[in-house]
Amino acid sequence: MMINKIDHIGIAVKNLDEALKLYTRTLGLSLKSIEIVTDQKVRTAIIPIGESKIELLESTEPDGVIAQFIEKKGEGLHHVAMEVNNIEQALDSLKNEGFPLIDKIPRKGVENTRIGFVHPKAAKILLELVEPAK
């Protein structure tokens, strides 16, 4: 498996618009895009920083994964995403090594990426693998 770089850091927030003020006004970063991922019940904001990004995540539904995360742990670091060239190969490699996967097959992510999550039991954090859009 080839890890290219840290693709992004995912941060769970209660209010995306309020959180954006910190990153854009206060820190002077630029917003690239806002996108809703309906099947994940999340609204995201992508903020490039160097060769990586910050992804702010706001739940669109009270029963969404991000809403549940914030209820249990509060706002803050949700996941670290690493870029890979081939998502299927990366997930298969981790599965063969005995790592528990949340996603055994890739799903659609933000910015037309393909993603898969590794269970935090294995990596001690929620780890997302990302294959960029081709």
What tens digit of pLDDT does each residue of 35-88 get? 999 999 999 999 999 999 999 999 999 999 999 999 999 999 999 999 999 999
Q: Could you tell me if 104 and 94 are in contact, meaning their C-beta atoms sit under 8 angstroms apart?
A: no
The rounded percent of the chain whose pLDDT value lies above 70 is 99
Confidence of residue 2 (pLDDT cuts 50, 70, 90): confident
The alpha carbon torsion through 113, 127, 42, 48 (nearest 10 deg) reads -60
Mean per-residue pLDDT of the chain: 96
Which amino acid, residue 119? H
Residues 6+ apart with CB under 8 A from 8: 46, 52, 53, 54, 55, 81, 130
Q: How many domains does the chain have?
A: 1
Q: What is the CATH number of the domain that holds 94?
A: 3.10.180.10
Residue 1 has pLDDT above 70, yes or no: no
pTM of the predicted protein model: 0.93
65/43 Cα distance (integer angstroms) = 12
Domain limits at 48? Answer: 3-131
Return d(Cα 128, Cα 134) in angstroms, integer: 18
Look up residue 109 and give its two tokens. 């992510």
Instruction: Note whether 81 and 131 are within 8 A (CB).
Output: no
What is the predicted pLDDT for the residue at 16?
98
